[in-house]
Structure 1
Amino acid sequence: MLASEVDAFDPMERAFHETGNRCLANTEHLHADWSLLHEYSLSPGLPAMAHGWDAPQLDHRPVACKGAPEAVCALCHLDAAHTAAILSRAAQIASGGLRVLGVAKARHYGVDWPARQHDFDFSFVGLVGLVDPVRPDAAGAIAECQAAGIRVVMITGDYPSTAHAIAAEVGIGAGRIVTGDELAAWDDAQIRGAIATTDVFARVRPEQKLRLIEAFKARGNVVAMTGDGVNDAPALKAAHIGIAMGRRGTELAREVAALVLLRDDFAPIVASIRLGRRIYDNLGQAISYTVAVHIPMVAAAMIPVILGWPVMLAPLHIVFLELIINPVCSLVFENEPERRDLMKRPPHRTQKALLSKAAFVRSAAAGVVLALIVLAVYAATVATRHDVMLSSNLRLSRARRRQRSANFRGARDGYPKHVPRRGHGKQLHWPCPGPDRERSALAHDGPHAGTTLFTRPFTRGLRVQMTK
């Protein structure tokens, strides 16, 4: 407890406080009156932290330290045999999937605090194992990723034996485990060669996580990384998709990450991949539909005009169709259910277009076929309408001929036909087979006696305007 953060945020730090308060209650080992005076943080070169305390009842200032077992052994200046025994025991504990830390203590009698932890005379206290249980749905989520062609790699600072046990539990291939010491001795080319066949990396330092991310990117992979600590920030920022834990993640990790999980679990990542693939497929279908449906619209608007047919689509019709097509496209394809093989297909290449050439050709072909059908139906309709109009004109022409025949018979009998006329007066019509020239006549009897009749040529007869 004395080597842990006072205001614990990390789950491991909280576990130390909760266990200590529960197991050491009502004993002299809980020191509420002690105050923290000095703190030594973790560093890449020394994965251990120490706290210096002010104890009013003691003549010295207690120092508590915890960290990686090999680092704590180095601070205690143990001999090789003693160090080997401790590390062997730590590896045995870690093989059960526990996270192992070493604990040490020291006394400081001076006023000024040393600059380094190595300046203290630490004595080794023991080893602590912490259980970080795997979530029940983690193995299923990882298996689903692997079926979808997504490779899952474990990069951890834990012991190789701990990493091996956890990897075997969740289904990550742990045939070979590369440690941070090996990464430190390799150049970038060797690292790129190792990541092709290695899925578990243990005892990895923060700067080595960054090198691994860059190596995966150099091989052309799209890299997503999860992290929660301050040391994970550079790698989170370097990855294509940095994913920070929302609950236990530090503020810096959440700031540099592209995504922040509200639930610290691997399953939401898989659900996001599933949703993204479904949206991608639906967008492709929507674009294919748009291409296919606009080809007959363009043909219906242009081909009749080019061929001299009656206009099929007016501008108002086109606007109306656009107002229908776009909302329908959005509503229908947005709610399209996912395909059965959605999470069994390999990921798309980053250079692949949203609508491939083959899909575009299929959509265009469907649009052309639909355009031909629409134009064929319209052509048949135009032809049928022309026949109907021609028949009507013939019937009208015959009716006019019958009327003229009747008028001719009336003129032959001496009776002109009275044709109503708008305005004043009447018109008299005599069919006249003679030459079309102007004539004048005088009505001698009847109601029009004394009226001068002026005649004008009118096809095959004479129209007579009566005036006083």
Structure 2
Amino acid sequence: MNSAGRASPSGLSAEQAARQLALDGPNELPRPPRRTGWHILLEVAREPMFQLLATAVAIYFILGDRAEASVLLAFLGVIVAITLVQERRTERVLEALRDMTSPRALVWRDGVPDRIAGRELVRGDLIELAEGDRVPADARLLSANDLAVDESLLSGESLPVAKTASAATDGTSPITSNHVFAGTMVVAGRALAEVTATGARSEIGRIGTVLGSIEAESTPLHRQTRQLVRWFSVLGLVVSVAVGLLFFITQGDWLGATLAGITMAMSMLPQEFLLILTVFMAMGAWRLSQHRVLTRRAATIEALGAATVLCTDKTGTLTQNQMRVETLVRFTPERPVRWQAGEGDLDERFQPLLRHGVLACEETPFDPMERAFHMLARSALAPLAERPVLVHEYGLSPELPVMAHVWRMAGQPDQTVAAKGAPESIVRLCSLPEALRAQVLDEAGTLAERGMRVLAVASASFRGTEWPATQQGFDFRLLGLVALADPLRDTVPRAVQECRRAGIRVLMITGDHPGTACAIARQAGIDGDAGLLLGEEVARLDDAALQHAVTTTTVFARVAPQQKLRIVQALKANGAVVAMTGDGVNDAPSLKAAHIGIAMGGRGTDVAREASSLVLLDDDFGTLVQAVRLGRRIYDNLVKASRFVFAVHVPIAGLTLIPMLVGWPLMFTPMHIAFLEIVIDPVCSIVFEAEDEEPDLMERMPRDPSAPLFSPWMIAQSLLQGCVILLLVGGFYGWLLHDGLADDTTRASAFIALIASNIALILANRSLRGSIRAVFQRGNRALWGIILTILTLLSAVLLVAPVRRLFGFALPDLTLIGCALGVGAVTLMTLLAQQGLLAAVSHSRGSRATGP
């Protein structure tokens, strides 16, 4: 025997727990030191843009131009401040997400069970452990039922370790056999334990394991970005050296040549890309968390927009997971006898069926189905004179989906065995005559077709303590069927319809009866009649046949976890991008195999959560579809920001280089580039990240997951946008010079035109389709705040005389300012026309995008 009976625990009071938490601190391992402002400053100082600006400041001081050096130094401070603010914002988001993803623990407080963050556990807490849980703290077992724990994290031993509630005193097992340790995994059984050590005082804490020291692998998008930045940095260095040499050869001024080279390098360096990725991924994870979806891997955000198939469970995901017993069925020699909820008190003929159904449940139920059994029993059954004692239990297995409990009943010499499970499995255990077997399965099918979850209940007697290896060792007698109703969630039909419009297939994969699965599928809008496959049929198909079958099948019923894995692999082999939901220990392989593994936050096990890349806190399919929508929006905005960065550097670099080549007065110095950098960084990271979704976001096919973000087509579009601005502003600059205006007036007017054109570039890239309506739409307060800030800074540069002189500007008259703003307006119209044309071309090319 591996357990003992126990009374309902009470645990610590909330006040006691709070005092202990203040004394011991949170139950968490030491984290890596937080990045302070000084750490971030050191990282900023290593950036090429910072070093180029610092060099320019030093040269101006050498030249004796202290005023220009001071202003450039002030710009350098502003750029550092912007970087600091964005980095600290990202750090705060990541810190909040770390708190939200803290492991959960089921603890008894004030006599009631409560699911809390693991970091809030304290010494003395009573915790419940079940199969699939990660142990949240070191604890001593008070009771255990067939408990086995994977301690490979601590010992390296691959086999699970059996645990008992009392320490061995005969020297046959280690003293730790009645202790469990933080970080280890429960692979079988249940237990109640008292916390003995938390945080750094736990065994894993003493060993010094620090989870934060494990660095996540870079995502493909990060690798693409780093490679692109390296290429542009090399190109910028080569061009800037060439420009410096050209300036020295033509002007004979080596300090001026150095400044010209620095200006050119600053104009070409696309350092914003890495900033964009950092901000977008952190804020993307935060936005997902606002929809009650936790992101465990950043790469998932990239994959969400490419999902072509959503494989979902039924119970709790499509349905409300709030079950109640609707029908009880007994089988007599004449005919089945039924009791319906709402028909009055429970007939005593059905009481053995309900009582043994409750005995086959956990003593403290958390599964909604088991809670429904207990709820009906409390209102319909008289309490037993003496509480029975659970002495042994058999869990569900893929081979035999039946749960059985062995009880010692007061005043009875034999133990009572109660079992519940799938009707076909219970029928096999009971060895029924063929006619009765057919009658039971027909009745179960009829109930299932009404969308109900159907279980059979059986009982047996047993004497002795040498337990059979499996439930098949008992002589079971069928007691009847129990049908439970679990209504469909209100949000599901609309979410399924939205998936259809977005080109995403929705498949239901469940362990339920095929009739139940098809009934719920029809209610949800999943075409259950289009294709149904049973788990046993999946097992019989070879890989090639299964790959063909999954192209038409929408409902998979009576599926075992290992068959789930084969279904995922078959879908992937067909080229689908697969999102898969799961909650159990045995779901972990399929969750890990899917491109997007989604664990249930409410009813899911820790094993499932750790194998997944997303966690649905409310277990709702509608929330999953919202996550896909948000993933598409994040990717769209990433494209917009990247396109802006590519485009904005073209006119800056061109207007730096062209005057040197054609002998015009220089338009830019490092100071002008620094001013433009102050504009670019917040725009590409803050403004575009906050953009609303495109109107057709969920009406287009999923994007091709193999297509790089920085595709030749996207780069070509961006360079074309930049060339439009370069031609218009460069032409305007040349026209003003040809007109004989003073250099400082010409430079100021062209600079206004460039700023206006950059604002036009921001507005044009608000939409991927070149929509005029999208240009001035509301909803992005960050955009209008940034534009107002840009205009305020430009006004200060033009209107404050000392600053104007430092920039080498003269205040243009109103006609010239109007012409410069007109260049911006022409730029906007040209960019929108160009974008509309390219969108039409892209749409015709996009018909080849990956479909469902």
Unaligned runs of 5+ in 2: 1-357, 744-852
- Paired position in structure 2 for 1:153: 507
Count of matched residue pairs: 386
Note if 1:53 corresponds to 2:410: no
Deviation at 1:373, TM superposition (A): 2.0
Deviation at 1:354, TM superposition (A): 1.7
Note if 1:248 corresponds to 2:603: yes
Deviation at 1:254, TM superposition (A): 1.6
- Paired position in structure 2 for 1:461: none
Deviation per residue, 1:68-89 (Å, 9 max, x gap) = 1111111111122211111111
User: Which secondary structure does the structure 1 equivalent of 2:495 belong to?
Assistant: helix
Deviation at 1:202, TM superposition (A): 0.8
Q: TM-score, normalised by structure 1?
A: 0.79
Quick one: distance in 2 between partners of 1:372 and 1:93? 73
Quick one: distance in 1 between partners of 2:490 and 2:741? 75
Match for 1:167 among 521, 527, 533? 521
- Paired position in structure 2 for 1:107: 461
Structure 1 residues 51 and 141, CA gap change in structure 2 (3 angstroms): same
User: Which secondary structure does the structure 2 equivalent of 1:153 belong to?
Assistant: strand
Quick one: distance in 2 between partners of 1:251 and 1:325? 43
User: What is the identity, as a one-letter code, of the residue corresponding to 1:357?
Assistant: P
Query: 1:56-455 residue pairs with structure 2 within 5 A?
Result: 56-175=410-529, 176-385=531-740
CA contact (8 A) 1:98 1:130 kept: yes
Quick one: distance in 2 between partners of 1:383 and 1:317? 23
Note if 1:13 corresponds to 2:375: no
Extract structure 1 runs of 4+ deviating beyond 6 A: none
Which structure has the higher relative contact order (CA within 8 Å, separation 6+)?
2
Quick one: distance in 2 between partners of 1:285 and 1:191? 40
Deviation per residue, 1:344-402 (Å, 9 max, x gap) = 001000111224433332322222222122222222333344799xxxxxxxxxxxxxx
Unaligned runs of 5+ in 1: 389-468
Q: TM-score, normalised by structure 2?
A: 0.44
Deviation at 1:186, TM superposition (A): 1.1
User: What is the identity, as a one-letter code, of the residue corresponding to 1:74?
Assistant: R
Structure 1 residues 358 and 33, CA gap change in structure 2 (3 angstroms): same
- Paired position in structure 2 for 1:443: none
Quick one: distance in 2 between partners of 1:228 and 1:254? 8
Deviation per residue, 1:387-437 (Å, 9 max, x gap) = 99xxxxxxxxxxxxxxxxxxxxxxxxxxxxxxxxxxxxxxxxxxxxxxxxx
Quick one: distance in 1 between partners of 2:434 and 2:491? 43
- Paired position in structure 2 for 1:457: none
Quick one: distance in 2 between partners of 1:376 and 1:111? 95
Quick one: distance in 2 between partners of 1:290 and 1:323? 13
Match for 1:35 among 389, 409, 415? 389
Deviation at 1:320, TM superposition (A): 1.6
User: What is the identity, as a one-letter code, of the residue corresponding to 2:620?
Assistant: D
User: Which secondary structure does the structure 1 equivalent of 2:619 belong to?
Assistant: coil
Quick one: distance in 1 between partners of 2:575 and 2:627? 22
CA contact (8 A) 2:597 2:612 kept: yes
Quick one: distance in 2 between partners of 1:147 and 1:369? 36
User: Which secondary structure does the structure 1 equivalent of 2:457 belong to?
Assistant: strand
User: Which secondary structure does the structure 2 equivalent of 1:56 belong to?
Assistant: coil
More helix by percentage: 2
CA contact (8 A) 2:510 2:557 kept: yes
Structure 1 residues 123 and 263, CA gap change in structure 2 (3 angstroms): same
User: Which secondary structure does the structure 2 equivalent of 1:127 belong to?
Assistant: strand
Identity between Structure 1 and Structure 2 (%): 51
User: Which secondary structure does the structure 1 equivalent of 2:359 belong to?
Assistant: coil
Deviation per residue, 1:245-294 (Å, 9 max, x gap) = 11111222222111111112111111111111111111211222222221
User: Which secondary structure does the structure 2 equivalent of 1:221 belong to?
Assistant: coil
Deviation at 1:113, TM superposition (A): 2.0
User: What is the identity, as a one-letter code, of the residue corresponding to 1:337?
Assistant: D
Deviation at 1:168, TM superposition (A): 0.3
User: Which secondary structure does the structure 2 equivalent of 1:152 belong to?
Assistant: strand
User: What is the identity, as a one-letter code, of the residue corresponding to 2:498?
Assistant: E
Deviation at 1:156, TM superposition (A): 0.8
CA contact (8 A) 1:11 1:248 kept: no
